[in-house]
Amino acid sequence: MWLLVKLWNCPFFKEYYESNWAKNAMLYENVEEFVTRIERKKIFDPFSLIKLRSSGITSYRTIWNNSNVEFLDAFGRRSERRKWIYCIENIKILIYTVSLSEFNLVEYNNVEVMNDSLEMIGKLFGNGLLSDARKVILFTKPDILVKKLQKRMEYSRKINSVVRPELEIISNDYNERIVINSIITEYLERVSFHLDSYHIVNVTSEEEVRSVTELIFDNVTTPFISPCLLPITNRMITTMYNIYLRKLLTDIQIITTINELSP
């Protein structure tokens, strides 16, 4: 682990890694965040920053608000998706995840990742077996998207400059507001008649994941916008408001005394 930290702090290694990442290479996107957390001695789940197994179906159970909840995670390439048909019956909530940072990635067969995702969501949301399920889109990795734009990676997909009202609060220092609006618009145009809500979340933040989970289970349709996309002046306000909603604030009185020096 500390070997990675030392390597990452070598300029040539970091530059080489990021130059290959910039060329659409399917490399880990959160190395810098991983190293930063280690250096700051933060306690965190390392698996929240890396990709896990991306094929097959995984099932796990948990308790939410005193109710038993079963999650089914479905992954895989085109050839593996036929397995999904066996687990989509009786689904109450369908959550489709879209990585915002994959706007410039191409798969091994020269298919653009986002085009494949758009095709898949059209088929999935229109499936009659899911007609009664609530449908939610999670747009993830907004922080990685911003990093790519900071490095002047080109966004070559269709631009939609008519910004949706709920996205106007997003910072636009690197055109992230326009890019995110364009991506989200593409998806909403594909599934507008079937979609119940969408959220933009940084899944490496436990607080954001918790907030979005609450919104989904409470059937709140107002989009959650990741604080990492807001102008710096607005981030503290948003963070404090989220803490307030979770009832973690208490009254604090700070008393200071000043002892006057005698002449």
What is the DSSP code string of 121-186? HHHHHT-GGGTTSEEEEEEE-HHHHHHHHHTT----S----S--GGGTTS--TTSHHHHHHHHHHH
- Which residue has tokens 């250096």? 39
Instruction: Kindly state the greatest CA–CA separation across the chain.
Output: 86
Angle formed by the axes of helices 113-125 and 176-191, nearest 10°: 40
Amino acid making up residue 55: S
* Calpha distance 3→6 (Å, rounded): 5
Confirm whether residue 161 is marked as ligand binding: no
Amino acid making up residue 7: L
Give kind and range of the element (H or E) at residue 114.
helix 113-125
Amino acid making up residue 136: V
**The tokens of 246 are what?**
């979770």
Which region holds residue 213: left if phi is over 0, alpha if psi is between -120 and 50, else beta? Answer: alpha
Known binding-site residue numbers: 54
Annotated binding site for Mg(2+): 54
